[in-house]
Amino acid sequence: MSDKASPLRQPAPPADNAALQREVADLIVAALNLDVAAADIDPQAPLYGEGLGLDSIDILEIALVVSKQYGIQLRADSEENEQIFRSLRYLADYIATHRTK
Amino acid sequence: MVAYRAGAPIRARAFLADVMRVAAALPQGRHVLNACSDRYRFTVAFAASLVANKVSLLPSTHTPEVIRQLTEFAPDVFCLTDDSRCQIDLPRVRFPDAMQPGEARGSPAADEQTVPWQPLQIEPERLAAYVFTSGSTGTPLPYKKTWGRLVNCVRFEAERLGLLDGRPHAIVGTVPPQHMYGFESTVLLALQSGNAFSAGRPFYPADVCSELGSVPQPRLLVSTPVHLRTLLAAGVHLPSADLVLSATAPLSQNLAREVEQRFETRLLEIYGSTETGQIASRRTAQTVEWQLFSGVRLASDGEQTWAEGGHVEQPTPMCDVLEITAQDRFLLHGRLSDLVNIAGKRSSLSYLNHQLNAIPGVADGAFFVREENESASSTGVTRVAALVVAPGLDAAAVTEQLRKRIDAVFLPRPLLFVDSLPRNDTGKLPHEALLSLAANAMKRA
């Protein structure tokens, strides 16, 4: 669906959202009962597939947490989906730009 | 009308034109892996394969190992895909998109007028598809589906769902068309009951709601417990639905009632198997008893239950423990074998074990299902865990190998390293010993 706004078209937040990245990492680890410590998640590594190894059910679960915590309803086709979940850093940046609470 | 794309109808004439165009573009090779993710393109590709006398292969996942096994089963198999980034390791053919699928309708009225249209005639005996279950030996087992049996099954389903009342129903699915349930209940159901499906495969709750809201009423939502639970929890406005279907995993009565309330609808759960197709339904909010589709009967010798009659035809053994309560009703008491089903993807513990033990460096290993309450996450998904003996490997190496062999939903959570497995004299792993070793290993972790 090319008429939807791509998350990448948003201006990248200038600040390194270290605190938000950590907060999101904590949420992910708690929501998914992951075996890793939040601090050990590489902010640059892919969340989906390789890297942290999340699958589509995990992504739905994270989407749920993100909607509750930050008031964002993710809307995406599969391409954008992969972009948002390209890394913890991308996800945190997306949240920083779109959060309503 | 056959389908909707973003709310706009695609008519039978345009569909048939697309089918003939794609059929003419198909390469040699009798077997097709139809990987089109768009539901309309999938359906065009499936119908084109039928027209070109080809057979569709429907495995439950597309991991490299399953693809390798498919090439052994059918060396001439090719992959038809609508995704330029498709990585499936087969000869790949792009869905010919010269004309946007279904957009023939909008273009020259000539198409509308000059293409004569009549229903495709496919003989009922024609072999349409192979559906695969994961066999316990590590090789997927193929089941033949003739066109006639596929059609019969969904005609019984359409009757049960009340879709034959002459009103045009629109079907929106959150399940992929490649899975048996999605294939039957979105694609085939629409084609064979004079109704229409929506082409998208919405993922996020907001996407599902907008797709559902984009089609006219009366409308059906074909979904799974995972997707339904997420939809209810997401805090989005839910469009009304005339009927919601759920399958692939048991749905709790509470969730069923909440779905009925929030969508102002009826919810029917569907029960079936790869071997038989769908055979029963129940209105979960009101009853725990399943009602068989008309003509289907069950017979039992106390342990094993068979289904027969109706679209099932020959007696077929069921993999679940079924208790017959009346001539056309039964209770479901769980798995007979070691089948695991996570979010509609099926495997068996023996298949997973086979793949784990095939990894170089793994001396021994076993998957197990964790107790429901400790492993179910907020979307209610039960995951599998594994114990492994692999002195020279670390978790990352084992996981990387597993990812090539099994679907990601079956990757063990957690993967626990131990010195040895508590096998008994016959080499079997008593379930209790396995769980207690796992509990200890988790404490240490």
Predicted confidence band at B115 (pLDDT cuts at 50, 70, 90)?
Answer: low
Q: Which of B86, B203, B404 to probe by mutation at the A interface, max A CB count within 10 Å? A: B203
* Yes or no, beta carbons of B381 and A57 under 8 Å apart: yes
pLDDT surpasses 80 at B140 = no
What value, to the nearest 5°, has the Cα angle with vertex B230 and ends B225 and B235?
140
Section B266-291 average pLDDT: 94
Q: What is the pLDDT of residues A38-89, one digit of tens each?
A: 888 888 888 876 667 677 778 888 999 999 999 988 886 555 566 788 889 9
Average pLDDT in chain B: 87
Pairs across A and B, CB distance < 8 A: 73
Contact, B197 vs B154, CB < 8 A?
no
φ and ψ at B32, to 5 degrees? Answer: -120, 130
Contact, B113 vs B134, CB < 8 A?
no
* B416, closest residue in chain A (CA to CA): A35
pLDDT surpasses 70 at A5 = no
Enumerate the residues of chain A whose CB falls inside 8 A of the CB of residue B182.
Answer: none
pLDDT surpasses 60 at B253 = yes
φ and ψ at B58, to 5 degrees? Answer: -120, 80
Q: What is the pLDDT of residues B189-239, one digit of tens each?
A: 999 999 999 998 888 999 999 999 999 999 999 998 888 988 998 888 999
How many alpha carbons fall within 13 Å on the CB side of residue B139? Answer: 8
Q: Any idea which of A8-12, B52-56, B67-71 has the lowest mean pLDDT?
A: A8-12
Strand, helix or coil for residue A65: helix
* A73, closest residue in chain B (CA to CA): B206
Give the number of other Cβ atoms within 10 Å of residue A81's Cβ: 20
> Model pTM?
0.80
Predicted confidence band at B153 (pLDDT cuts at 50, 70, 90)?
Answer: very high
Residue B431 to chain A, least CA–CA distance (Å): 23
- Rounded-to-integer distance, Cα B89 and Cα B65, Å: 10
Strand, helix or coil for residue B221: strand
* B97-116 residues touching A, CB cutoff 8 A: none
Section B242-261 average pLDDT: 90
pLDDT surpasses 60 at B106 = no
Predicted confidence band at B335 (pLDDT cuts at 50, 70, 90)?
Answer: low
Section B1-26 average pLDDT: 93
| Per-residue confidence (pLDDT) for residue B295, from 0 to 100 | 92
Predicted confidence band at B110 (pLDDT cuts at 50, 70, 90)?
Answer: very low
User: Tokens 């739905």 correspond to what residue?
Assistant: A60
Residue B17 to chain A, least CA–CA distance (Å): 24
- Rounded-to-integer distance, Cα B3 and Cα B8, Å: 8
* Yes or no, beta carbons of A63 and B205 under 8 Å apart: yes
φ and ψ at B390, to 5 degrees? Answer: -155, 80
To the nearest 10°, report the CA torsion of A60, A27, B401, B420: -120
Identify the residue with better confidence: B377 or B401: B401
Which residue, B267, B312, B265, is CA-closest to B292?
Answer: B312
- Which residue from B204, B226, B414 is facing A74, i.e. has the nearest CB? B204
- Which residue from A32, A53, A60 is facing B230, i.e. has the nearest CB? A60
Identify the residue with better confidence: A8 or B208: B208
Six-digit token string for A31: 């929501």
Q: What are B341's strand-pairing partners?
A: B346
| Per-residue confidence (pLDDT) for residue A53, from 0 to 100 | 67
Q: Any idea which of B107-121, B130-144, B221-235 has the lowest mean pLDDT?
A: B107-121
B207 touches chain A (CB under 8 A): yes
Identify the residue with better confidence: B65 or B215: B215
CB-count burial class (<10 Å; 0-12, 13-18, 19+) for B36: buried
Section B255-270 average pLDDT: 94
pLDDT surpasses 70 at B134 = no
pLDDT surpasses 90 at A12 = no
| Per-residue confidence (pLDDT) for residue B74, from 0 to 100 | 96
Percent of the residues in chain B that have a pLDDT greater than 90, as a whole number: 57
- Which residue from A32, A63, A76 is facing B377, i.e. has the nearest CB? A32
* Yes or no, beta carbons of B230 and A35 under 8 Å apart: no
pLDDT surpasses 60 at B135 = no
Q: Any idea which of A47-61, B144-158, B287-301 has the lowest mean pLDDT?
A: A47-61
| Per-residue confidence (pLDDT) for residue B104, from 0 to 100 | 47
* Yes or no, beta carbons of B230 and A67 under 8 Å apart: no
